Structure 1
Amino acid sequence: MVELFDTHVHLNVEQFDEDLEEVIERAKEAGVRWMNVVGFDRETITKAMNLIDRYEFMYATIGWHPVDSVDMKREDLEWIESLATHEKVVAIGETGLDYHWDKSPADVQKRVFKDQIELHKRVNLPLVIHGRDAQEDIATLLEEEGVGEAGGIMHCFSGDVATAERCLAQGMHISFGGPVTFKNAKLPKEVAKIVPLDRLLIETDCPFLSPHPYRGKRNEPARVRIIAEQLAELKGLTLEELSEITTENAKRLFRISS
């Protein structure tokens, strides 16, 4: 029996306003039993909190996206900390560094990232890290600041093997999304092969990064099964084995007992 945990979804964005129930039904049909909804600003955090109160199988990660670091105020961080006491808030993020876009200067991103590293330690929840064109700086900052006992996730990891090993050494899990299925995706496949099974996670990052053969189209949680199939092949496992391993990893990290 295949029971999947999509550890990173954005069902709290406008792309799902019109057909959320249909999307959820397709996910259930594909074997998705649990979802982690990630909020990254005031609006999406509020929507994430509403979703976890509405759906038993949804949990939330709340934080501030690095691209929007310049918009974050001290009261936003305090608000996130107050919401982190909710029993279904399972992680802090997505935070990190993103050098692809130039909205927020690197020094501002690093300051906001450090603030959320400190927050994740205070509330003792895992840290969910977004990285784009910045994996080296992220690994260095994690080594300098240290990761709390709750650990964390390198969300939709796009770095190389050496950087992955540095993040693993800090106690992080490595999560794979749609790009690991792309035909020209040599690097993520190489990384997937070296990640220990007890640190492996799967996600869609929907509505973004749809896996092959849906690349370029709106992504949704049902397609996490395609990612699981690809990782099972890379790891020499059956889909059932891969799904059991990654689901147990997610439930252990997020402290979900049911």
Structure 2
Amino acid sequence: MLIDSHCHLDRLKAAPDQPSLQAIIDAAKSRGVDYLLCVNVRQQGFESMREKMAQFDNVFLSSGVHPLDVQEGLNVAEIKQFATDKKVVAIGETGLDYFYAPETKTLQQQCFEQQIALAVEVNKPLIVHTRDAREDTISMLKAGGADKVGGVLHCFTENWEMAKAAIDLGFYISVSGIVTFKNAGELRSVIRQVPQDRLLVETDSPYLAPVPHRGQENQPAYVRDVAEFVAELRGEKYEELARYTSENFFNLFTDAAKLIGR
């Protein structure tokens, strides 16, 4: 069993309707990907995402607002209401991105703080996006008591010091297809060091397709390519990595485990 711990199924151009979406999920299944976490990025898009995923018992959801979408506003009460859906297993994707939107730094911080507090209130882990905001991300997670619920730094591209700080807070590190890129030397060094019990794999599809699919629209089936690459990188067997990253997923997203009777 393998799990795509972070994807955006509702954003795949290849899946504008249910039949195509079914084919994409079936393609993932054929490569051993049994479960997927479809991550919300826009508050206004949650209900549409939920409707599209309703028929798929192996697809879990999150509820939150991405730091690059905070300009559209943040209604914490509505996100909290969305989080009552039984398929919602996490709060996010939230966080800080000073690389693409430094001009909204203050607003990003306000929204991140609110979503950390909400995660603690509803007792669900956080899905965190962070780029060029290492110190602020860790300090805000600490200040907000995020260690009470844990979470994951998804699509990790930062250094070992940040990874270690997050792990010390009870967070997981998730690796995407970026690790397969030629210029990912520092990231590979980090991923070699992450303890087995703190590692997840993801696609972040439709973005960042791994080698050998670069240039294509990414999809959950390709998490197999990520997992095989990471296993070789770490000197592990693919089957071992698939096993422990799946266990890690359910240890973190306990509502997902309950939903399938695990």
* TM-score, L = length of structure 2: 0.92
Superposition deviation, residue 133 in structure 1? 2.1
Contact 1:67–1:104, Cα closer than 8 Å, also in 2: no
Contact 1:61–1:90, Cα closer than 8 Å, also in 2: yes
Asked if residue 7 in structure 1 is aligned to residue 8 in structure 2, the reply is: no
Separation (CA, whole Å) in 1 of partners of 2:77 and 2:103: 21
- Bigger shift: residues 195-204 or 134-143: 134-143
Aligned equivalent of 2:42: 41
SS at match of 1:223: helix
Superposition deviation, residue 247 in structure 1? 0.5
* Counterpart residue type for residue 48 of structure 2: K
Superposition deviation, residue 49 in structure 1? 1.7
Separation (CA, whole Å) in 2 of partners of 1:37 and 1:206: 10
Aligned length: 254
RMSD over aligned CA atoms reads 1.5
* Counterpart residue type for residue 50 of structure 1: E
* Counterpart residue type for residue 137 of structure 2: I
Aligned equivalent of 1:72: 73
Contact 1:92–1:128, Cα closer than 8 Å, also in 2: yes
Separation (CA, whole Å) in 2 of partners of 1:142 and 1:248: 24
Aligned equivalent of 1:203: 202
Separation (CA, whole Å) in 2 of partners of 1:103 and 1:190: 28
Separation (CA, whole Å) in 2 of partners of 1:146 and 1:40: 22
Aligned equivalent of 2:131: 132
* Counterpart residue type for residue 201 of structure 2: I
Contact 1:120–1:148, Cα closer than 8 Å, also in 2: no
Superposition deviation, residue 156 in structure 1? 0.5
Separation (CA, whole Å) in 2 of partners of 1:23 and 1:180: 23
Superposition deviation, residue 223 in structure 1? 0.3
| Unmatched tracts of structure 1, length 5 or more | none
Deviations 1:18-49 (A, max 9, x none): 53222112111111100000111134311332
Structure 1 segments of 4+ aligned residues over 4 angstroms from their partners? none
Separation (CA, whole Å) in 2 of partners of 1:98 and 1:84: 24
* TM-score, L = length of structure 1: 0.93
Asked if residue 145 in structure 1 is aligned to residue 152 in structure 2, the reply is: no
SS at match of 1:54: coil
* Counterpart residue type for residue 55 of structure 2: R
Percent of aligned positions that are identical: 39
SS at match of 1:12: helix
Superposition deviation, residue 216 in structure 1? 2.6
- Bigger shift: residues 82-91 or 130-139: 130-139
Separation (CA, whole Å) in 2 of partners of 1:47 and 1:9: 16
Superposition deviation, residue 198 in structure 1? 0.6
